[in-house]
Structure 1
Amino acid sequence: MASRLRNRYLFTTRQKLLAALVALVLVGVPLGWGIKKWTTPEDRSCAPGVERPQGSDECVGVNGSGFAFGVPELAEITGLIGHENGVLKQGGYVTVAILLPFTSTDPGMRAKVLHELQGSYARQYWENNKANGRTPKIRLVLANTGNENVHWEHVVQQLKGMTGAPDRLRAVSGVATSSPEIRSSVAALTKAKIAVVGTTITADDIANGPDHNDFPGLARVSPTNKDEARALPLGKVDAGRTLIVQDTRTDDHYTNTLKAAFATALKGRTPYEPAVFTSPPDSTAEGTTSNIFNKIASRVCETQSETVLFAGRHTQLRQFINELGGRGCAARSSVTVLTGDEGSYLGSDPKLDRKALTARLTVRYAALAHPDAWRAATNPKLPKTGGSEADYDTFLEAVSHASKKPVPLGDGQAIIAYDAMATAVHAIREAAQGKPYPEPSDVGQQWPQVTGELQRVNGASGWICLDNYGNPFNKAVPIVSLTPEGTQRFESIAWPEGKAPTPNCLKPNPK
């Protein structure tokens, strides 16, 4: 009886069909979903022009619609840039890209990126809204090369494809670190005839000169390391009581050219060989260099050095300062550390032992810009040439639009980025010659003409007068010191040529 019931109710044609359908649903749907997932490419997009490369969670690429690359502190400024871009009329603008590692994990670099963006936007806003209707208008896009610039090739390839309509990319700015990746980026962009304006690159070998033209179309608004060393008060130091401390890494263009500049300035007059250390491959990492600096601090005492010339990056500079604060000879002798513009990072570095700066220790660096340099109230010896308070006031008005809060200016990054954007726009509009927009290759050819009273760029950091190779001639160099309170105190303006430029700021013919 039970067998007949089972056959009747469980194995009828209807029940068999129903069972088959249930099995199809239970097995077929997940199987179909799995097949679709396996055969459909993964969506790795983040925003227009931006995606996550294979093996990375960073959003890398080029965007101008307001995307902040997942970095909350960039949301306000990227939103402002996106809004400014959004009101531009199609065909009435050209594009300038800001090439930076927007997703850097280093706190110092993240602050630098934010301030550079604020300065760049300030000039974009001024050019589009306060420049008497001059054309073409300027669209900004943000080109994220990723942490440590590891994705530079992908981003540069994108930029090379943006010279035509609708983007009409005509210049790339930012370009802010003297690293091998940035050097390669500049080489690739200029080879493609895209003009580049470096903000804070100071390495002498990421530049053109009389004996080489590796980067045709490159301009810089910051002095080279050689010029920074010439501006520092090295002529006043006692070479017999000076010690050079330098990084041994050979793949860092900033460090290599700075230590070469120091060696040239002292011309072998120091009695001791340099004290050396080796920074980690990622120079922003802590590593174990503090242990080495503890020994070097003792050598400063043993050599009775009064001056230390430091050729290294900011993380190692901070470690060295911290160790010098506890040196055994602090009670009986004072020490002055002189270094390049990497010192500008330390004002906001929470790991800097500010008590070290009370241990008869002075830290001075050659800054790229400073908010007190061109203010009569803070610089009683304000030069009559080389820059002006009026130009700096224009910057202050423009940068007030870049944030609801006051933009930090002590590190000089916003100021120098503003000047780089001003230089890029100047060349773009000069190259246009009455046309709606210039050809890409014409912009970089303008750099030798950016000089003289009528064609120089009157920057917030000082006059930008370029030589025939796109390098600033006799650019103002603020000498800045760190204070125990954590501020960056302006001391004086120095000049690579030893004195302020003439009104025409023309570079003389070398003898």
Structure 2
Amino acid sequence: MDNPFRYRLFYTARQKAVTTVVVLALLAWGTVAVVRSATTPEDRSCAPGVARPAGSQECVGVAEAGDGYAFGEERLEQVAAAIGRENATLADGPYATVALLLPLTSTSAGLREKVLNELQGAFVQQYRANRQNNEVPGIRLVLANTGKDNAHWRTAVDRLKGMTGAPHHLRAVSGIATSSGAVQSAVAELTAAGIAVVGTTITADNIANAPGRQLFPGLARVSPTNGDEARALAHFGKVDAAKALLVHDTRTGDHYTDTLKNAFSALLARSPYEPQWFTSAEDPNAEGTTANTFRRITHLVCDTRADTVFFAGRHTQLRQFINALGARGCKERRFTVLTGDEGSYLGADPQLDRSALEEGLTVHYAALAHPDAWRARPGYRPPATGGSAAAYDEFVRALEEVSKAPAGPIGRTTLADGQAIIAYDAMAAAVRAIREATPQGADLPPVADVARQWPQVKGSLKVPGASGWICLDNYGNPYNKAVPVVRLTRGAPRFVAMAWPEGAAPSADCLPPRRP
């Protein structure tokens, strides 16, 4: 028997008409929804000045509101919020903005820690600068994210280039922390636009100006170049080239590795041993297969009479090499490994075989800063020139103040890797340039004038940084900057001694000599 309900609902003339109308209405609504979805662009914004690029879930760009936006990174929320609170006190101006350009959403554990510490150090200087005798302009700080591996540097840089006018008044960019091709391109774009740039931890010699090579007009750096680091290590170790060899990465395009390799090669020109090569993965943070290569290289190192190994590579491969040397067959032989500032990443690396450091293996790296470098202790007296305990202690006092309310909290700060200290100094250099470029009676300096201040940052006009004196040559490079030599240990990395690119601390006047 037919279902009477079905008959009544669908087969009376009235119900047929109603059903037809309903179906047509649903079809029309669905069509409109599909068309609207297809023709309306997806909202990929994250915050003012920040968005997710097509094909990416990272929020990149510039948090131009300066209101505490942390790019979705929980570890950055406290320090970003502190920056936002400080910026809010400047709402009535006058203020100049400094941007921190960094890979804030990096997935590398070591780089994530480094980025956090750099934000904290920069904020300490911002807070301190805004309380220096009511000097103008005030200093506003914004965060700029270039994304994982700095892949979206252009998005951030294009935003920054449009922020020199009101209401942002961008006058300098700091951060600039990794020596890579992407960072080199970012620095070139910013300086070509007349914007002053202060590098924190870039050490590559080819992201620098030099006589006859002004590729980045307006760039200043507060860290020594790889060449300077290498010379400082050689002076410290009193290395005999006849008993030393080089292990280096052959992957090209990494400016840190390339220039460190070149600097070490020059030092070891008289070594009887050819360099030992390895090739890291395209992503230098990836483990790849280099651990197997280092196991074989270790056998060859044991075959030589060398007692010193210079290592030019990133921290992941450095850790693999140390682990391999810890398991070497010639345990009766003692070796010293000398390397650049990438060694600072290994202090908290859980994959480092720390027992290797007790097997006749000593690992020294050239740090950019260290909390023990300027403090006297039994058996160590800091140099009389090149830096001071007073400047470092001023940093510590300011850090303690901003770490608690009302300025803070800013999250746990690690000083052993030197990142917070060097970022504090870079920000100090930016503040100095902005305020020195501000005409008498004016509230803001012209954009181009900020980038012209670097040749005068020397002598009595030096920046007394927490990491050491910042005396810039005419090309924006620090002259004879202090290089703390740090030893990896089973516990925390240990400061060993201060080394100098020129072999000794600078004279009291801190005036770079004439360069050919």
- What TM-score does the superposition give when structure 2 sets the normalisation length? 0.94
Partner of 2:219: 218
* Distance in 2 between residues matched to 1:472 and 1:320, nearest whole Å: 31
* Distance in 2 between residues matched to 1:178 and 1:413, nearest whole Å: 15
1:437 aligned onto 2:438: no
Counterpart contact for 2:241–2:267, Cα < 8 Å? no
* Distance in 2 between residues matched to 1:6 and 1:243, nearest whole Å: 91
* Distance in 2 between residues matched to 1:510 and 1:27, nearest whole Å: 79
Deviations along 1:319-368, one digit per CA (max 9) or x if unpaired, are 000000000011x1110000011101100111111111111100001110
1:357 aligned onto 2:357: yes
1:468 positional shift: 0.2
* Distance in 2 between residues matched to 1:85 and 1:17, nearest whole Å: 65
1:187-336 counterparts in 2 under 5 A? Answer: 187-234=188-235, 236-266=238-268, 268-330=269-331, 332-336=332-336
Partner of 2:371: 371
Deviations along 1:117-161, one digit per CA (max 9) or x if unpaired, are 110111111111x31111111111111000000011111111111
* Distance in 2 between residues matched to 1:278 and 1:225, nearest whole Å: 20
* Distance in 1 between residues matched to 2:486 and 2:295, nearest whole Å: 25
Correspondent of 1:81 among 61, 80, 83 = 83
Counterpart contact for 1:372–1:379, Cα < 8 Å? no
1:174 positional shift: 0.4
Q: CA RMSD in A?
A: 1.9
* Distance in 2 between residues matched to 1:37 and 1:248, nearest whole Å: 49
1:53 aligned onto 2:53: yes
Letter of the 1:337 counterpart: V
Identity percentage over the alignment?
60
Structure 1 pair 6/308, CA: closer, same or farther in 2 (3 Å)?
closer
Counterpart contact for 1:372–1:378, Cα < 8 Å? no
Structure 1 pair 379/93, CA: closer, same or farther in 2 (3 Å)?
farther
Letter of the 2:138 counterpart: K
Please give the secondary structure, in 2, of the residue aligned with 1:498: coil
Structure 2 residue runs of 5 or longer lacking an equivalent are 404-408
Letter of the 2:387 counterpart: G
1:241 positional shift: 1.5
Partner of 1:109: 111
Deviations along 1:472-506, one digit per CA (max 9) or x if unpaired, are 00111101100012x11001111111111122200
Please give the secondary structure, in 2, of the residue aligned with 1:416: helix
Partner of 1:148: 149
Letter of the 1:482 counterpart: L
Deviations along 1:259-311, one digit per CA (max 9) or x if unpaired, are 11112223x21111000111111111111001110011111110032100001
Please give the secondary structure, in 2, of the residue aligned with 1:276: strand
Letter of the 1:418 counterpart: Y
Structure 1, 96-105 or 16-25: larger mean CA deviation = 16-25
1:233 positional shift: 3.5
Please give the secondary structure, in 1, of the residue aligned with 2:437: helix
1:406 positional shift: 4.8
Partner of 1:463: 469
Partner of 1:118: 120
Letter of the 1:464 counterpart: I
* Distance in 1 between residues matched to 2:27 and 2:304, nearest whole Å: 80
Correspondent of 2:485 among 460, 470, 479 = 479
Deviations along 1:182-231, one digit per CA (max 9) or x if unpaired, are 00000000000011000000011100011200000000000001111111
Counterpart contact for 2:78–2:411, Cα < 8 Å? no
* Distance in 1 between residues matched to 2:489 and 2:178, nearest whole Å: 25
* Distance in 2 between residues matched to 1:491 and 1:378, nearest whole Å: 13
Please give the secondary structure, in 2, of the residue aligned with 1:83: helix
* Distance in 1 between residues matched to 2:146 and 2:192, nearest whole Å: 19
- What TM-score does the superposition give when structure 1 sets the normalisation length? 0.95
1:378 positional shift: 6.9
Structure 1 pair 216/379, CA: closer, same or farther in 2 (3 Å)?
farther
* Distance in 2 between residues matched to 1:30 and 1:378, nearest whole Å: 80
* Distance in 2 between residues matched to 1:508 and 1:380, nearest whole Å: 29
Structure 1 pair 404/175, CA: closer, same or farther in 2 (3 Å)?
closer
Please give the secondary structure, in 2, of the residue aligned with 1:154: helix
Counterpart contact for 1:379–1:492, Cα < 8 Å? no
1:161-176 counterparts in 2 under 5 A? Answer: 161-176=162-177
Please give the secondary structure, in 1, of the residue aligned with 2:142: strand
Correspondent of 1:492 among 490, 497, 515 = 497
Partner of 2:74: 72
Counterpart contact for 2:8–2:15, Cα < 8 Å? no
Please give the secondary structure, in 2, of the residue aligned with 1:233: helix
Deviations along 1:7-34, one digit per CA (max 9) or x if unpaired, are 9986677545422332244333333222
* Distance in 2 between residues matched to 1:509 and 1:136, nearest whole Å: 34
* Distance in 2 between residues matched to 1:163 and 1:457, nearest whole Å: 25
Structure 1, 22-31 or 275-284: larger mean CA deviation = 22-31
Structure 1 pair 12/203, CA: closer, same or farther in 2 (3 Å)?
same
Letter of the 1:502 counterpart: S
